Chains A and B, each alone.
Chain A
Amino acid sequence: MPIEFEVVPYLQWLPHALLNFGIAVAVLLALGTFFSWLAAAVRLGPSEAFYLIARIMLDALPDIFKTSPRRVWALTRLSVQESIRRRVLVVFLVFVAIMLFAGWYLDTGSDDPARLYISFVLNTTNYLMLLLAFVLSAFSLPTDIKNRTMYTITTKPVRAFEIVLGRYLGFAIVGTALIVGMGAVSYGFVTRGLAHTHQMDGKLAPIPSPFPNQPPLGERGTTTLDKHHRHEFTLNNEGLGRTDMQMGHFHEVTKNGDQIVIGPPQGMLEARVPLAGQLSFLDRAGRSAASGINVGNEWTYRSYIEGDTLQAAIWTFDGVTPEKFPDGLPVEMTIRVFRSYKGDIEQGIGGTLQLINPDPGARVRRSEKIFFTAQEFVVYQRLIPRKVKALDQYNKAIVDAQGNPVEVDIFEDLVSDGRVLLELKCADPAQYFGVAERDVYFHAADNSFAMNFIKGYFDLWLQMMIAIGFGTMFSTFLNGPVAMLASIACLVVGFVAQFIFDLAAGTLEGGGPIESTIRLVTQKNLSVDLELGQTPEAVIRGFDGGLMQAMRAFANLLPNYRWFDTVRYVAYGMDIERSAVMQHATLAAAYCVVVLIVGYFFLKTREIAA
């Protein structure tokens, strides 16, 4: 659930991205040149305007390459000093204050407190930093121009690019310092806030052996109630054991003489590395199908399989080796449940999992069915052990000479060339499971949570850097409040870009801007005809199509801040892939470069004293 899309390896992604980037830049350049020429031509006439634009373009390259680090640094320092004077550090205090208060009200009996804590700190940091980035960057240059301090700067041998870059870097430094501070506070807040131990509650009770006259298997006990939960635990005869899972964690328990020592929580702050598979479907008759059923009113990304039919979702996993999974295959799933009738809401919907050998000629074809009960919104974890009972090609249990079922080793008998299939079925009739490719995976490894937390913060940092870039760019030609609004508008459009894409792709009802306006004004709902006649309607649709393409192109140019949103990865304890981080960094860098260069042109062609 947390990871929705496959992350393409970086080097595979890069050429494609560079191509898109090239196209976008070319289009931007062409449009920018044309409209600047048009604007200049109104005043100067076409040929004068042409020379002017040509001159500005020719000046630009040497201007940008002659950038002097010392001048940039001077302006950077100035921005830092100015920011400090504008008391941005107060933001940090606000953040700390929020964390202190949050300590009280976040302390609820949530099912997954780690998720709550982590998404809280990351989101708080994100919103605060974006806001700060906009305020800092959007107001600074306009203030300089308004106070005319700009006069003494632009009459020095300073290039417009140096001004833009210096400003940008100054705010970047301030923002980076703040984000690092917030990250450190957040990390402490999360780890300290979740840390707890329990004491033993009551007495240990022996676990009797199932066989008569045998010594007990160990002891069991209960912990005290702390942080809204208590655990049950078992100890073996050596005095070692662990508690059950509660609220996403367990504790190790050791018996030391008469003393019971309960360790810190474990399994709460994780960075799980998934091994993802490729999803395919079988339809109700058991034939292969491109997708399951669409139950409507749901995001099409997820596909549904019906219970108690031959319909199934099958994942193909590659690279499944005993080295990676010495103890068996740890399956993790978050599947959606769709009930066609209510049934017993308390009781989950049953399902089965089965490993399938991809080799159709193999003796061992399938593992026996593994039953489970689906829980929604929780990561369901199940270890398929290395030794399982299995079925042959006739779906008969594999038995030894005596007719007793034997267990096979999954790596020897079910995995071939590192590939294995996992089949998911819904067991309850007329109920449905919704699945997407990324909903089921093998938990392949654990990376450091701290590192993952840093990666999450890195993505926030990238968002901030883009926000500062946009703020700086707008501030080169708009006044402060307007520049800030414009940057926020870009952010919002970036956020709703998906919606705009859908609109542009024509998947939403109601037609384009003109058609929907007509419908609004004439109060015609979506199902009635426009009744304007063939030709006008065609014209309207044509216009709408063009408009929506333009909107799509526009939305494509803006950064979709959701790309960088890896908060849920960290919160759900999923490792953020390195490839994803690198893609984000590249995207952010590309945006910043473009935005700063656009800012340069605006500032360069701006009449400072007008």
Chain B
Amino acid sequence: MEATAAPNLFADAPRKAGTTGDVVIETRNLSKTYRDFWGRQKVRALKSLDLEVRRGEIFGLLGPNGSGKSTTIKLILGLLFPTTGDALVFGKRASDVAKNELIGYLPEESYLYKFLNAEETLDFYGRLFNMSSAVRKQRVGELIHMMGLDWAKRRQLKEYSKGMTRRIGLAQALINDPDLIVLDEPTTGLDPLGSREMKDLILRLRDQGKTVLMCSHLLADVQDVCDRIAILHQGELKELGRVDSLLKLQNLTQIRAEGLSKECEDELKAVIERHHGKLVSMENPTTTLEELFLNIVADSDKRPGWRSPQNNP
């Protein structure tokens, strides 16, 4: 893709259909073993991961520290080479540079050049997408404004606070108006307000038809925004599915209604009793992603290598 790509970079118009249909990211039997200099095994960070991320969804990778989330992302981006298996993005191999035209990536920490200021930074990354200077100028202005950093755009990044750097990192990931946005722990370092904004932004991007792959150990974030999640633990996939169906407890029914009369409630209780059910409560359910997550981790510690069978996508 050369400079001709620039004009449609900002269009919200529907994208041309990808060659692989609706699957944006696909990993097949993806494994990664970190080795030391002498080729000795150090860590098996990822064990045969099969994933599909579909167009237009927000996909969350969830897992405790060191479970292989960042490793997965780096494999998908070609920053790491798989030990076995493949990662395909837009149907292209992860090592293919051309795929990067449509990707925006926010690393775990914002690895930016500290001696550049915000404008220079974004301009620099714009150049790497071969964007013309007019397009760059407009885009840089927009993004800085969007991140609320107008007041600091001429300051070198070394003077930036963590949250500010994070915002510039995100702006950098969006410079090419990507189709696929890969976010490694997007909300770390952001204040509650910033974190809320980040989540709104992610949802907005999804509404624009973009695909988002994010990883986090902050369950609330994931629960708020993700359509589907995969839970990793010690490099293994433990759970995969829609957030709503994962959180729906099969043996628990929650009834919420308004304006029921006492008789109606009694009638409902009678119906439940007749069907040998037991009324737990009539209030909000306490099951959250947090509970699910902790269960899975506990379960997996008991039975390592076993993927919980219940929910499949």
Contact = CB atoms under 8 A, between A and B. Distances in A.
B127 A70 contact: yes
A61 interface: no
Nearest to B71: A609
B115 interface: yes
B130 A70 contact: yes
Contacts of A147: 111
A63 B97 contact: yes
Contacts of A155: 77-79, 100, 103, 105
B128 A74 contact: yes
B203 interface: no
B305 to A, nearest CB: 24
Given A63-B97, A157-B97, A610 B107 contact: no
Contact of B127 (A74, A152, A607, A608): A74
Contact of B128 (A43, A81, A85, A158): A158
B2 A68 contact: yes
Contact of B111 (A68, A74, A82, A148): A148
Interface string B1-21: 111000000000000000000
A608 B79 contact: yes
B77 A71 contact: no
Contacts of A70: 3, 127, 130
Contact of A71 (B78, B98, B113, B128): B128
Given A81-B116, A82-B113, A149-B111, A156 B77 contact: no
B111 A81 contact: no
Contacts of B113: 78, 82, 149
B54 interface: no
B80 A609 contact: yes
B111 A159 contact: no
Contacts, number: 79
A74 B126 CA distance: 9
A151 interface: yes
A73 interface: yes
A71 B136 CA distance: 13
B117 to A, nearest CB: 11
B97 A151 contact: no
Contact of B100 (A63, A85, A148, A157): A157
Q: Which of A150, A152, A607 has its CB near the most chain B CB atoms (within 10 A)? A: A152
B81 to A, nearest CB: 5
B101 A157 contact: yes
B34 interface: yes
Contact of B34 (A42, A156, A608, A610): A610
Contacts of B107: 148, 151-152
Interface string A294-322: 00000000000000000000000000000
12 contacts: A70-B3, A73-B127, A78-B124, A81-B116, A149-B112, A149-B113, A150-B111, A152-B105, A152-B169, A157-B1, A157-B101, A609-B79
Given A609-B74, A609-B80, 15 more contacts: A43-B39, A68-B2, A70-B3, A70-B130, A74-B128, A82-B113, A82-B115, A148-B107, A152-B107, A152-B125, A154-B78, A158-B100, A608-B79, A609-B79, A610-B34
Interface of B: 1-3, 34, 39, 74, 77-81, 97-98, 100-101, 103, 105, 107, 109, 111-113, 115-116, 124-125, 127-130, 169, 172, 176
